[in-house]
Structure 1
Amino acid sequence: MKTPVLRTRRLLLEPYAPSDEEDFVALFQDARVGRWMGDGVDEEAEDRALFGRLFTKVYAQDLFGVWVVRHDGRAVGHAEIKPSPTPGVDGHEIVYAVTPTAWGQGLGTEIAETLVAHGFATLGLSEVHATVDAANEASLALLNRIGFRHVRDLTEDDGSTTRLLTRPCVPGPGH
Protein backbone atom coordinates (compact mmCIF):
# COMPACT_ATOMS: atom_id res chain seq x y z
CA MET A 1 0.00 0.00 0.00
CA LYS A 2 1.56 3.27 -1.09
CA THR A 3 1.82 6.06 1.46
CA PRO A 4 -1.51 7.90 1.22
CA VAL A 5 -2.12 11.62 1.53
CA LEU A 6 -3.77 12.38 4.88
CA ARG A 7 -5.65 15.57 5.68
CA THR A 8 -6.80 17.16 8.91
CA ARG A 9 -8.62 20.40 9.52
CA ARG A 10 -5.33 22.33 9.33
CA LEU A 11 -2.69 19.94 8.04
CA LEU A 12 -1.69 18.06 4.93
CA LEU A 13 0.44 14.95 5.40
CA GLU A 14 1.87 13.80 2.09
CA PRO A 15 4.75 11.63 0.96
CA TYR A 16 8.01 13.56 0.71
CA ALA A 17 9.13 14.89 -2.67
CA PRO A 18 12.81 15.38 -3.55
CA SER A 19 12.24 19.14 -3.24
CA ASP A 20 11.54 18.67 0.51
CA GLU A 21 15.14 17.73 1.32
CA GLU A 22 16.16 21.12 2.74
CA ASP A 23 13.11 21.27 5.04
CA PHE A 24 13.75 17.66 6.21
CA VAL A 25 17.41 18.34 6.94
CA ALA A 26 16.65 21.65 8.69
CA LEU A 27 14.09 19.95 10.95
CA PHE A 28 16.41 17.12 11.97
CA GLN A 29 19.44 19.41 12.31
CA ASP A 30 17.60 21.74 14.70
CA ALA A 31 18.94 20.73 18.12
CA ARG A 32 15.57 21.47 19.76
CA VAL A 33 14.00 18.75 17.58
CA GLY A 34 16.87 16.42 16.74
CA ARG A 35 17.74 15.80 20.38
CA TRP A 36 14.52 13.79 20.72
CA MET A 37 14.86 11.84 17.46
CA GLY A 38 16.70 8.51 17.44
CA ASP A 39 20.11 8.93 19.02
CA GLY A 40 20.06 12.73 18.80
CA VAL A 41 21.27 15.17 16.18
CA ASP A 42 23.30 13.43 13.47
CA GLU A 43 25.81 14.92 11.06
CA GLU A 44 24.08 16.76 8.22
CA ALA A 45 25.39 14.20 5.71
CA GLU A 46 23.67 11.42 7.68
CA ASP A 47 20.34 13.26 7.59
CA ARG A 48 20.73 13.78 3.83
CA ALA A 49 21.47 10.06 3.41
CA LEU A 50 18.41 9.22 5.51
CA PHE A 51 16.29 11.48 3.29
CA GLY A 52 17.63 9.66 0.21
CA ARG A 53 16.71 6.28 1.72
CA LEU A 54 13.09 7.44 1.98
CA PHE A 55 12.97 7.16 -1.81
CA THR A 56 15.40 4.30 -2.50
CA LYS A 57 14.18 2.06 0.29
CA VAL A 58 11.09 3.12 2.27
CA TYR A 59 8.91 4.30 -0.62
CA ALA A 60 10.50 2.01 -3.25
CA GLN A 61 9.83 -1.10 -1.15
CA ASP A 62 6.61 0.28 0.37
CA LEU A 63 7.93 -0.41 3.88
CA PHE A 64 5.82 2.03 5.93
CA GLY A 65 4.18 5.46 5.88
CA VAL A 66 6.41 8.54 6.06
CA TRP A 67 5.09 12.04 5.50
CA VAL A 68 6.11 15.67 5.34
CA VAL A 69 3.58 17.71 7.33
CA ARG A 70 2.40 20.98 5.81
CA HIS A 71 0.45 23.84 7.36
CA ASP A 72 -0.66 26.70 5.12
CA GLY A 73 1.52 25.27 2.34
CA ARG A 74 4.81 25.19 4.24
CA ALA A 75 6.61 22.22 5.77
CA VAL A 76 6.18 22.24 9.55
CA GLY A 77 6.90 18.66 10.51
CA HIS A 78 7.59 15.00 9.93
CA ALA A 79 5.41 11.94 10.61
CA GLU A 80 5.75 8.14 10.39
CA ILE A 81 3.95 4.99 11.40
CA LYS A 82 6.14 1.92 11.13
CA PRO A 83 6.77 -1.53 12.53
CA SER A 84 8.32 -0.96 15.92
CA PRO A 85 12.11 -1.33 16.02
CA THR A 86 11.96 -1.56 19.83
CA PRO A 87 12.97 -5.00 21.13
CA GLY A 88 10.05 -6.86 22.69
CA VAL A 89 7.43 -4.58 21.13
CA ASP A 90 5.19 -6.27 18.60
CA GLY A 91 3.27 -3.84 16.45
CA HIS A 92 3.61 -0.35 15.02
CA GLU A 93 4.87 2.87 16.51
CA ILE A 94 4.30 6.49 15.60
CA VAL A 95 7.03 9.08 15.16
CA TYR A 96 6.37 12.80 14.78
CA ALA A 97 8.27 16.07 14.92
CA VAL A 98 7.21 19.69 14.58
CA THR A 99 9.49 22.59 13.70
CA PRO A 100 9.96 24.93 16.71
CA THR A 101 8.42 27.87 14.83
CA ALA A 102 5.13 25.93 14.88
CA TRP A 103 5.23 24.77 18.51
CA GLY A 104 2.36 25.65 20.82
CA GLN A 105 -0.34 25.51 18.14
CA GLY A 106 -1.56 21.95 18.76
CA LEU A 107 -0.05 20.66 15.53
CA GLY A 108 1.81 17.82 17.27
CA THR A 109 -1.47 16.61 18.75
CA GLU A 110 -3.14 16.81 15.36
CA ILE A 111 -0.32 14.81 13.74
CA ALA A 112 -0.29 12.13 16.46
CA GLU A 113 -4.07 11.73 16.37
CA THR A 114 -3.97 11.44 12.57
CA LEU A 115 -1.27 8.74 12.72
CA VAL A 116 -3.23 6.78 15.33
CA ALA A 117 -6.46 7.03 13.32
CA HIS A 118 -4.61 5.87 10.18
CA GLY A 119 -3.14 2.95 12.12
CA PHE A 120 -6.51 1.81 13.37
CA ALA A 121 -8.76 2.55 10.37
CA THR A 122 -6.43 1.88 7.44
CA LEU A 123 -3.77 -0.48 8.76
CA GLY A 124 -6.19 -2.41 10.99
CA LEU A 125 -3.98 -2.21 14.07
CA SER A 126 -5.35 -3.15 17.50
CA GLU A 127 -2.89 -0.86 19.29
CA VAL A 128 -0.26 1.74 18.48
CA HIS A 129 2.99 2.37 20.36
CA ALA A 130 5.30 5.34 20.89
CA THR A 131 8.76 5.51 22.42
CA VAL A 132 9.69 8.81 24.01
CA ASP A 133 12.75 10.02 25.88
CA ALA A 134 11.73 10.25 29.56
CA ALA A 135 12.93 13.88 29.61
CA ASN A 136 10.63 14.90 26.71
CA GLU A 137 7.82 16.12 28.94
CA ALA A 138 5.92 17.88 26.14
CA SER A 139 5.62 14.75 24.02
CA LEU A 140 4.77 12.56 27.01
CA ALA A 141 1.98 14.98 28.00
CA LEU A 142 0.66 15.12 24.44
CA LEU A 143 0.50 11.33 24.14
CA ASN A 144 -1.12 11.00 27.56
CA ARG A 145 -3.82 13.52 26.52
CA ILE A 146 -4.73 11.44 23.46
CA GLY A 147 -5.03 8.13 25.28
CA PHE A 148 -1.53 6.62 25.36
CA ARG A 149 -0.55 4.90 28.60
CA HIS A 150 2.90 4.17 30.02
CA VAL A 151 3.75 0.47 29.65
CA ARG A 152 7.37 0.29 30.81
CA ASP A 153 10.70 2.08 30.83
CA LEU A 154 13.57 1.01 28.59
CA THR A 155 17.18 1.69 29.53
CA GLU A 156 19.24 2.84 26.55
CA ASP A 157 22.91 1.98 25.93
CA ASP A 158 23.93 5.44 27.17
CA GLY A 159 22.00 4.95 30.43
CA SER A 160 19.12 7.26 29.50
CA THR A 161 15.51 6.17 29.89
CA THR A 162 12.96 5.81 27.09
CA ARG A 163 9.29 5.43 27.92
CA LEU A 164 7.21 2.92 25.99
CA LEU A 165 3.60 4.04 25.67
CA THR A 166 0.69 2.22 24.06
CA ARG A 167 -2.77 3.24 22.93
CA PRO A 168 -5.29 0.47 22.31
CA CYS A 169 -7.95 0.75 19.65
CA VAL A 170 -11.26 1.44 21.33
CA PRO A 171 -14.04 0.40 18.94
CA GLY A 172 -16.89 2.79 18.55
CA PRO A 173 -20.60 1.92 18.65
CA GLY A 174 -21.51 -0.91 16.31
CA HIS A 175 -18.04 -2.49 16.25
Structure 2
Amino acid sequence: MPETERLILRPLTGDDFADYAAMLADPEVAGGLAESVGGSPADAWRSLAMFIGHRQIRGFSHWALIEKSTGRFVGRAGPWQPHGFPGLGVGWCLARPHWGKGYATEAARAAVRHCFTVLGASEVVSVILPGNRRSVAVAERIGHRHLRDLTYRGRRVHLYGQQAPPA
Protein backbone atom coordinates (compact mmCIF):
# COMPACT_ATOMS: atom_id res chain seq x y z
CA MET A 1 0.00 0.00 0.00
CA PRO A 2 1.27 3.49 -0.76
CA GLU A 3 1.97 5.70 2.20
CA THR A 4 2.90 9.27 2.96
CA GLU A 5 4.49 10.60 6.10
CA ARG A 6 1.18 10.60 7.99
CA LEU A 7 -1.26 8.65 5.82
CA ILE A 8 -1.87 5.14 4.54
CA LEU A 9 -3.37 5.23 1.04
CA ARG A 10 -5.38 2.10 0.39
CA PRO A 11 -8.19 1.15 -1.97
CA LEU A 12 -11.66 2.26 -0.93
CA THR A 13 -13.90 -0.65 0.10
CA GLY A 14 -17.45 -1.21 1.22
CA ASP A 15 -16.17 -1.21 4.80
CA ASP A 16 -15.51 2.53 4.39
CA PHE A 17 -19.19 3.28 3.83
CA ALA A 18 -20.13 4.60 7.30
CA ASP A 19 -17.18 7.00 7.44
CA TYR A 20 -17.60 7.97 3.79
CA ALA A 21 -21.32 8.66 4.23
CA ALA A 22 -20.64 10.75 7.34
CA MET A 23 -18.08 12.80 5.39
CA LEU A 24 -20.47 13.46 2.49
CA ALA A 25 -23.38 14.25 4.85
CA ASP A 26 -21.55 17.47 5.72
CA PRO A 27 -22.99 20.06 3.28
CA GLU A 28 -19.75 22.04 3.31
CA VAL A 29 -17.80 18.96 2.19
CA ALA A 30 -20.29 17.80 -0.47
CA GLY A 31 -20.89 21.36 -1.72
CA GLY A 32 -17.23 21.81 -2.63
CA LEU A 33 -17.04 18.81 -4.95
CA ALA A 34 -16.96 19.29 -8.71
CA GLU A 35 -18.64 15.88 -9.02
CA SER A 36 -22.13 16.80 -7.84
CA VAL A 37 -22.87 14.48 -4.92
CA GLY A 38 -25.81 14.73 -2.57
CA GLY A 39 -25.51 14.19 1.15
CA SER A 40 -27.88 11.26 1.66
CA PRO A 41 -26.66 7.75 2.50
CA ALA A 42 -27.90 6.59 -0.93
CA ASP A 43 -25.83 9.35 -2.61
CA ALA A 44 -22.76 8.34 -0.60
CA TRP A 45 -23.31 4.69 -1.56
CA ARG A 46 -23.44 5.56 -5.27
CA SER A 47 -20.33 7.74 -4.97
CA LEU A 48 -18.35 5.07 -3.12
CA ALA A 49 -19.46 2.41 -5.62
CA MET A 50 -18.39 4.72 -8.46
CA PHE A 51 -14.84 5.01 -7.09
CA ILE A 52 -14.62 1.26 -6.42
CA GLY A 53 -15.96 0.54 -9.93
CA HIS A 54 -13.51 3.03 -11.44
CA ARG A 55 -10.66 0.97 -9.96
CA GLN A 56 -12.10 -2.14 -11.62
CA ILE A 57 -12.49 -0.45 -15.01
CA ARG A 58 -9.35 1.71 -15.16
CA GLY A 59 -7.04 -0.06 -12.70
CA PHE A 60 -6.72 3.03 -10.49
CA SER A 61 -8.95 5.29 -8.45
CA HIS A 62 -9.10 7.40 -5.33
CA TRP A 63 -7.69 5.82 -2.19
CA ALA A 64 -9.09 5.82 1.32
CA LEU A 65 -6.89 8.10 3.42
CA ILE A 66 -6.14 6.54 6.78
CA GLU A 67 -4.42 8.52 9.50
CA LYS A 68 -1.40 6.48 10.63
CA SER A 69 -1.43 7.80 14.19
CA THR A 70 -5.07 6.81 14.86
CA GLY A 71 -6.14 4.40 12.09
CA ARG A 72 -9.08 6.71 11.34
CA PHE A 73 -10.57 7.33 7.90
CA VAL A 74 -9.95 10.99 7.05
CA GLY A 75 -11.07 11.17 3.41
CA ARG A 76 -10.25 10.11 -0.11
CA ALA A 77 -7.80 11.23 -2.79
CA GLY A 78 -6.09 9.86 -5.84
CA PRO A 79 -5.97 9.52 -9.59
CA TRP A 80 -9.20 9.70 -11.52
CA GLN A 81 -10.37 9.67 -15.14
CA PRO A 82 -14.06 8.90 -15.55
CA HIS A 83 -15.70 9.05 -18.95
CA GLY A 84 -15.81 12.65 -20.20
CA PHE A 85 -13.23 13.97 -17.73
CA PRO A 86 -10.81 16.48 -19.31
CA GLY A 87 -7.69 14.34 -18.74
CA LEU A 88 -6.04 12.18 -16.12
CA GLY A 89 -7.13 13.84 -12.93
CA VAL A 90 -6.17 14.02 -9.30
CA GLY A 91 -8.81 14.79 -6.72
CA TRP A 92 -9.23 14.96 -2.96
CA CYS A 93 -12.01 15.18 -0.39
CA LEU A 94 -11.49 15.25 3.36
CA ALA A 95 -13.87 15.07 6.28
CA ARG A 96 -14.09 18.54 7.80
CA PRO A 97 -12.47 17.63 11.15
CA HIS A 98 -9.31 16.92 9.13
CA TRP A 99 -9.23 20.17 7.16
CA GLY A 100 -6.24 22.40 7.79
CA LYS A 101 -3.85 19.58 8.72
CA GLY A 102 -2.14 19.38 5.32
CA TYR A 103 -3.54 15.92 4.59
CA ALA A 104 -5.11 16.95 1.26
CA THR A 105 -1.80 18.35 0.03
CA GLU A 106 0.12 15.31 1.27
CA ALA A 107 -2.27 12.86 -0.43
CA ALA A 108 -2.58 14.92 -3.64
CA ARG A 109 1.23 15.09 -3.97
CA ALA A 110 1.36 11.30 -3.67
CA ALA A 111 -1.38 11.00 -6.29
CA VAL A 112 0.43 13.31 -8.74
CA ARG A 113 3.66 11.35 -8.24
CA HIS A 114 1.72 8.10 -8.83
CA CYS A 115 0.24 9.49 -12.06
CA PHE A 116 3.65 10.45 -13.42
CA THR A 117 5.72 7.50 -12.21
CA VAL A 118 3.28 4.56 -12.25
CA LEU A 119 0.60 5.58 -14.76
CA GLY A 120 3.04 7.30 -17.14
CA ALA A 121 1.00 10.49 -17.47
CA SER A 122 2.39 13.48 -19.34
CA GLU A 123 -0.11 15.84 -17.69
CA VAL A 124 -2.29 15.72 -14.58
CA VAL A 125 -5.31 17.95 -14.04
CA SER A 126 -7.80 18.82 -11.30
CA VAL A 127 -11.31 20.21 -11.72
CA ILE A 128 -12.23 22.78 -9.05
CA LEU A 129 -15.45 24.69 -8.49
CA PRO A 130 -15.21 28.49 -8.59
CA GLY A 131 -15.05 29.82 -5.06
CA ASN A 132 -13.43 26.70 -3.60
CA ARG A 133 -10.38 28.58 -2.32
CA ARG A 134 -9.20 25.68 -0.16
CA SER A 135 -8.93 23.34 -3.16
CA VAL A 136 -7.26 26.03 -5.26
CA ALA A 137 -4.66 26.39 -2.49
CA VAL A 138 -4.05 22.62 -2.47
CA ALA A 139 -3.77 22.59 -6.27
CA GLU A 140 -1.19 25.37 -6.20
CA ARG A 141 0.80 23.72 -3.39
CA ILE A 142 1.11 20.51 -5.44
CA GLY A 143 2.42 22.41 -8.47
CA HIS A 144 -0.79 22.88 -10.45
CA ARG A 145 -1.51 26.14 -12.23
CA HIS A 146 -4.79 27.45 -13.61
CA LEU A 147 -5.06 26.23 -17.21
CA ARG A 148 -8.52 27.44 -18.25
CA ASP A 149 -12.18 27.46 -17.33
CA LEU A 150 -14.59 25.00 -18.88
CA THR A 151 -18.01 23.43 -18.44
CA TYR A 152 -17.96 19.98 -16.87
CA ARG A 153 -21.22 18.11 -16.30
CA GLY A 154 -23.18 21.30 -16.74
CA ARG A 155 -21.16 23.29 -14.22
CA ARG A 156 -18.62 26.01 -14.87
CA VAL A 157 -15.29 24.89 -13.33
CA HIS A 158 -11.64 25.82 -13.18
CA LEU A 159 -9.17 23.38 -14.70
CA TYR A 160 -5.82 23.29 -12.90
CA GLY A 161 -2.91 21.09 -13.91
CA GLN A 162 0.74 20.47 -14.49
CA GLN A 163 3.03 18.75 -16.96
CA ALA A 164 5.26 15.82 -16.03
CA PRO A 165 8.70 16.91 -14.87
CA PRO A 166 11.49 16.54 -17.42
CA ALA A 167 13.09 13.10 -17.41
Q: Same fold (TM over 0.5)?
A: yes
| Counterpart position of 1:67 | 63
| Counterpart position of 2:75 | 77
Q: How many residues align?
A: 164
Counterpart contact for 2:37–2:47, Cα < 8 Å: no
| Counterpart position of 1:164 | 159
| Counterpart position of 2:89 | 93
User: Structure 2 regions of 5+ residues with no counterpart?
Assistant: none
Q: Relative to structure 1, is the Cα distance of residues 122 and 102 closer, same or farther in structure 2, using a 3 angstrom cutoff?
A: same
CA-CA distance at 1:53 after TM superposition: 4.5
How far, CA to CA, are the matches of 1:131 and 1:54 in structure 2? 16
| SS across alignment from 1:7 | coil
User: Structure 1 regions of 5+ residues with no counterpart?
Assistant: none
Please say if 1:47 is aligned against 2:44.
Answer: yes
What letter is aligned with 1:81? Answer: P
How far, CA to CA, are the matches of 1:130 and 1:54 in structure 2? 16
CA-CA distance at 1:36 after TM superposition: 1.6
| Counterpart position of 1:117 | 113
CA-CA distance at 1:46 after TM superposition: 2.3
- Once superposed, what is the RMSD of the aligned Cα atoms? 2.1
Please say if 1:145 is aligned against 2:141.
Answer: yes
What letter is aligned with 2:15? Answer: S
How far, CA to CA, are the matches of 2:83 and 2:11 in structure 1? 21
| SS across alignment from 2:62 | strand
Q: Which of 115-124 and 13-22 deviates more? A: 13-22
Q: Which of 143-152 and 110-119 deviates more? A: 143-152
Q: Relative to structure 1, is the Cα distance of residues 130 and 54 closer, same or farther in structure 2, using a 3 angstrom cutoff?
A: closer
What are the superposed Cα offsets for residues 128-161 of structure 1, whole Å, 9 maximum, x if unpaired?
0000001101110221122111111124676x53
CA-CA distance at 1:164 after TM superposition: 0.4
State the identity as a percent. Answer: 29
Q: Which of 75-84 and 103-112 deviates more? A: 75-84
Counterpart contact for 2:77–2:104, Cα < 8 Å: no
Q: Relative to structure 1, is the Cα distance of residues 156 and 118 closer, same or farther in structure 2, using a 3 angstrom cutoff?
A: closer
TM-score (norm 2): 0.87
Q: Relative to structure 1, is the Cα distance of residues 114 and 157 closer, same or farther in structure 2, using a 3 angstrom cutoff?
A: closer
Q: 1:134 aligns with which of 127, 130, 134?
A: 130
CA-CA distance at 1:84 after TM superposition: 5.3
TM-score (norm 1): 0.83
